[in-house]
Amino acid sequence: MNARRILLEMFDAALRAVDGRASVAKFLDGARPAGRIQVFAIGKAASAMALGAHDILGAAIEATLVITKDGHADPGLERRRGVTVIESAHPVPDERSLVAGLTLQNRLREMQDEVTPLFLVSGGSSSVVELLRDDATLEQLRALNERGLAAGWDIATLNAQRARLSQLKAGGVARLLAGRRALALFVSDVPGDDPDVIGSGLLGRDCGRADAVERHVVANVEVAVRAALESAHARGLTMQASDERFAGEADDVSLRMLAAARACECDGLVWGGESTVTLPPRHGRGGRNTHLALSFARHLHAGEPWLLLAAGTDGTDGPTSDAGAIVDVGTIERATIAGCDVERAWHEFDSGIALEAAEDLVHTGPTGTNVGDILIAIKQSANPLRGQAMPRML
């Protein structure tokens, strides 16, 4: 089977293992909250997670509020009884984020005492919902997000800065509960899978008050990595996973991955984590995964057999609609033949243009999950592929 196809099937296996709908349903099937339920689903995977709750709890759910990124709402979800969907902005908040925050606050305040709130939180929550402090403005919040994204701040730094402007971040939603018992399930995209950090800590522990929120992480990148490995092993491939999540500048991560691939005696490597990029004032189309992939391709030597898939599990790479890319030793030549100045594209963070020219981009659309990024390097044997066309991306 073609190596590119194997990479796509491994990535698909990883996504299915951390699907928000299936992960929430699996947890609730073994630990159903009793009585009447209101669901509050927030983040890129909110729609899928809400469907998982409805699959198991059914008529016990009397109302559902879904706050998610534009284009990430399931088309049939809003037609279900008692479901309200708000599509909002990501990665930079706008007026809709404030409307979503006010709606969330009002629903929590109006909820009857005998109702149990069920929170379903995934990455992307920080931007799609917000309730500002009295002395803060939307312009300040937008500028903060843009500055942090451009500078490649890690999530802990960005969240700490956001909390200074927000009534919701750093446990703000937990404070709105005023001691009410609640259940919160998380699809994690942060280091350490800490609920105090996921979604900027909307359900973080409220200092000075007994924690009444029962919190569980139902999916993370390690689950995705294991599923990718199992998919490879089922095809007779020997693959290795890293013991640690990758982090740091995308260029540095690409070099570490390439060095590890060259040193290993197996068929390939699977890593999970999240890199960063530091953007210049003027930059082109792309995200951290396409930049990492293009960096990997630039450093491949002639004749090297390695292919790399670098993709976001949420189906988007930064502000683009690309999930990421698959690159190989021919990527640079293909892009150049198509008329792209690859070195300019790399230096100006215009990786999406270069990889589009090479026909190496990966598109999935919204995936129903968000556990960070996946890197899969695989060694391609030249002999089985001689005379075969190299299929491009889905």
Domain containing residue 354: CATH number: 3.40.1480.10
Is 390 part of any domain?
no
pLDDT given at position 386: 29
Task: Work out whether the CA dihedral 309, 310, 314, 318 comes out positive or negative.
Answer: negative
CATH number at residue 209: 3.40.50.10180
pLDDT attached to residue 383: 35
pLDDT at residue 1, as a whole number: 60
* Interhelix angle 250-263/288-299, nearest 10 degrees: 50
| Residues 84 and 103 reside in one and the same domain | yes
**Residues 215 and 254 placed together within one structural domain of the fold:** no
Point out the domain boundary residue: 196, 219, 242: 219
Mean pLDDT, 10 residues at a time, the chain of 394 residues: 92 98 97 94 97 96 96 88 94 92 96 96 91 88 81 74 84 89 95 89 69 93 98 95 94 98 95 90 87 97 96 91 96 97 94 96 96 96 38 39
Q: Are 208 and 329 found together in one domain?
A: no
181 and 266 part of one domain: no
Query: Does one domain contain both 357 and 258?
Result: yes
Domain end: 219, 244, 271, which one?
A: 219
Decide if 193 is inside a domain.
yes
pLDDT at 388: 34
Residues 232 and 174 in one domain: no
- Unique residue bearing structure tokens 């009857």: 112
Q: Is residue 83 part of a domain?
A: yes
Q: Is residue 82 part of a domain?
A: yes
Count of the separate structural domains present in the chain: 2
- Sign of dihedral through CA atoms 142, 147, 152, 155? negative
Q: Spell 288-325 as b/e; 16+ CB within 10 A means b.
A: bbbbbbbbbbbebeeeeebbbbbbbbbbbbbebebbbb
At 310 the three-state DSSP class reads: strand
Q: Does residue 65 share a domain with residue 29?
A: yes
Answer yes or no: do 25 and 174 share one domain: yes
Domain termination residue (choose one: 187, 219, 251): 219
In this structure, are 253 and 185 located in the same domain?
A: no
Does residue 196 form part of some domain? yes
Q: Does 392 reside within a domain?
A: no
Token representation of residue 144: 């903060």
Q: Looking at the DSSP assignment, which residues form a beta bridge with residue 361?
A: 325
Residue 121, domain extent: 19-219
Asked if 278 and 144 sit in the same domain, the reply is no
- Does residue 205 lie in a domain region? yes
> Are residues 29 and 50 located together in one domain of the fold?
yes
- Residue 76 counted as domain residue: yes
| Rounded Cα–Cα distance for residues 14 and 20 (Å) | 12
Q: Quick one: 251 and 169 in the same domain?
A: no
d(CA 267, CA 255): 18
What pLDDT was estimated at residue 320?
86
10 Å CB burial of residue 109 (0-12, 13-18, 19+) is exposed
One-letter amino acid of 385: L
